Amino acid sequence: MSIGGSARRLRALCKKETLQILRDPSSNIIAFVLPVVMLLIFGYGISLDTPGLRVGLVLEDSSPEARLFAASLFGSPYLRVQTARSRAELAQALVRGRVRGFVIVPPDFSQKLKEPSEAVPLLIVTDGAEPNTANFVENYIRMAWEGWLEERAAQRGAPLNGGADSWPGNGAAPAPTVTLEPRFWFNPSAESRNYLIPGSITVIMTVIGALLTSLVVAREWERGTMEALLASPVTRAELLLSKLLPYYALGIVSLFICVGVSVLGLGVPFRGSALVLWLVGSLFLGSALGLGLLLSTVTRNQFNAAQAALNAAFLPAVILSGFIYEIRSMPPLIRAVTYLVPARYFVTAMQTLFQAGQVWVVLLKSMLFLATASAFFIGMTALKTRKRLE
């Protein structure tokens, strides 16, 4: 069998598949509309940041010190503070969900501040029904408290952590002040969007790749056109390549659309190169397209293939890839399963390209596994593809 004849048949099959894609509205919606819609939902609908938390405040001490601390709470960009006259009023607001927590400044607040050896009793009550939000409330109030203490100590000319002997009036020399200066590498603004968007692109490409190819072979069987292909001199390799190459091109276009919307529309920085992005994306698409094609070949039914693709590709990509849930916090058995999920490595590669650039120690490991997964799924599809009807 000549190479020229094989190339002509492959071109003809790819042209036929491309025309079928262009004439199929569902394929165009999945490839071009669905990625943008999902990216906007992930970008604006999912956030691990919680600015503007509603908290209550009761000042049982009307001293200037208490009012100054209250002013620091009102000045926090992370809190929306509403005052109340009693603890019972705020307790009812917490029960009804009007506030996420509240702060009680006790009557002896200013008196305890004058005695450095005494602990200042500042009560913080949060809604433990949502532990993550409760932790945010506590941390934001703690930040405001520590910031106010540091500012107060600076105004008085005394260090914050100098101890009892370092306060003015006791005749001791003040100890040096310790100042913490946090630095956030790779994500200086510490915005969760910069972390979530690269992971959401992985989920989107998983759905697109697996869903598109999960329909192609099953559609041929349902429409009765597979018999004609099996009766033709088309080889198994030509048949598989004709089903993969057009959808690979479609997936790469979708990937760059997602990255473009992320950078230009959502303002997420991208520090990698387009060439490395294409290479990593190609390897991941090989595994996603191969998985979808394998399911389509095995099921021979579009509905069953689509349902299997969503369960086998989408759910692991969301739950087991580290996109939202930290893998280190999972049980050992589940952590072991995550090593078999291609999306885990694509999430790592995409987050690296977006936030750090070309870190080859990380990228090469991910690319190696993605190449192995692509070879496995495409190879399994080739084994399941036979030129006979049964």
pLDDT digits (tens, 9 = 90+) for 340-371: 999 999 999 999 999 888 999 999 999 999 99
Task: Give phi and psi for 190, each to the nearest 5.
Answer: 55, 35
Strands of 255-359, DSSP E: none
pLDDT (0 to 100) of residue 373: 94
SS (H, E, C) 238-275: HHHHHHHHHHHHHHHHHHHHHHHHHHHHCCCCCCCCHH
User: If DSSP codes are grouped into helix, strand and coil, which group holds residue 308?
Assistant: helix
Mean pLDDT of 50-77: 86
Q: Are 350 and 191 in contact (CB under 8 A)?
A: no
Average pLDDT score over residue span 163-176: 43
What's the average model confidence in pLDDT over 138-143? 86
Cα–Cα distance measured from residue 197 to residue 19, given in angstroms and rounded to the nearest whole number? 32
Residue 171 pLDDT class (50, 70, 90 cuts): very low
Q: What pLDDT sits at residue 25? A: 80
Task: Note the pLDDT of residue 368.
Answer: 96
Question: What is the DSSP secondary structure assignment for residue 29, as one 8-state letter?
Answer: I
Cα–Cα distance measured from residue 36 to residue 266, given in angstroms and rounded to the nearest whole number = 11
For the chain, how far is it from start to end, CA to CA, in angstroms?
26
Sequence-separated (6 or more) residues with CB below 8 Å from residue 79: 52, 53, 55, 73, 140, 141, 144
Looking at residue 240, what is its pLDDT?
A: 84
Computed over every residue of the chain, the mean pLDDT equals: 82
Confidence of residue 178 (pLDDT cuts 50, 70, 90): very low
pTM attached to this predicted model: 0.74
In what side-by-side order are the strands of the sheet with 123-126? 79-83, 53-59, 101-105, 123-126
When pLDDT is cut at 50, 70 and 90, the band that residue 388 belongs to is: low
Band of pLDDT at residue 125, cut at 50, 70 and 90: confident
Per-residue confidence (pLDDT) for residue 182, from 0 to 100: 58
Cα distance between residue 96 and residue 99, in whole Å: 8
Percent of the chain with pLDDT over 70: 85
Among 44-53, 84-93, 191-200, 369-378, which stretch is predicted with the lowest mean pLDDT? 44-53
Amino acid 274: pLDDT = 94
For 328, residues 6+ apart whose C-beta sits below 8 A from its C-beta are 335
Give 111 or 252, the one with higher predicted confidence.
252
* pLDDT at site 190: 66
| 123-126 and 101-105 strand pairing | antiparallel
| pLDDT range class, residue 166, cuts 50, 70, 90 | very low
Name every residue whose Cβ is closer than 8 Å to that of residue 97 and which is 6 or more positions away in sequence: 127
The Cα 373–Cα 204 span in angstroms is: 18
Mean pLDDT check: name the lowest of 208-222, 244-258, 313-327, 329-343.
208-222
Contact status, residue 239 vs residue 230, Cβ threshold 8 Å: no
Listed by start position, the domains of the chain span 14-46+191-384, 53-166
Question: What's the rounded mean pLDDT across residues 112-141?
Answer: 77
For 126, phi then psi, to 5°, come to -125, 165
- CA distances (Å), origin 279, targets 173, 175, 303, 360: 62, 56, 32, 13
Structural tokens at position 317: 């990509």
How many CB atoms within 10 Å of residue 26? Answer: 12
Q: Do 298 and 380 meet the contact criterion of CB atoms below 8 Å apart?
A: no
Q: Does residue 222 or residue 284 have the better pLDDT?
A: 284
What is the distance between the alpha carbons of residues 121 and 111, in angstroms, rounded to a whole number?
A: 11
Residues in CB range of 358: below 8 A, 6 or more apart: 272, 273, 276
169 pLDDT more than 60: no
Question: 124 — phi, psi (to 5°)?
Answer: -120, 120
CATH topology of domain 53-166: abc type-2 transporter like fold (3.40.1710)
3-state secondary structure of 286: helix
For 171, residues 6+ apart whose C-beta sits below 8 A from its C-beta are none
Counting Cβ atoms within 10 Å, is residue 56 exposed (0-12), middle (13-18) or buried (19+)? buried
Model confidence band, residue 159 (pLDDT cutoffs 50, 70, 90): low
Strands 53-59 and 123-126: unpaired
Q: Which residues pair with 289 in a beta bridge?
A: none
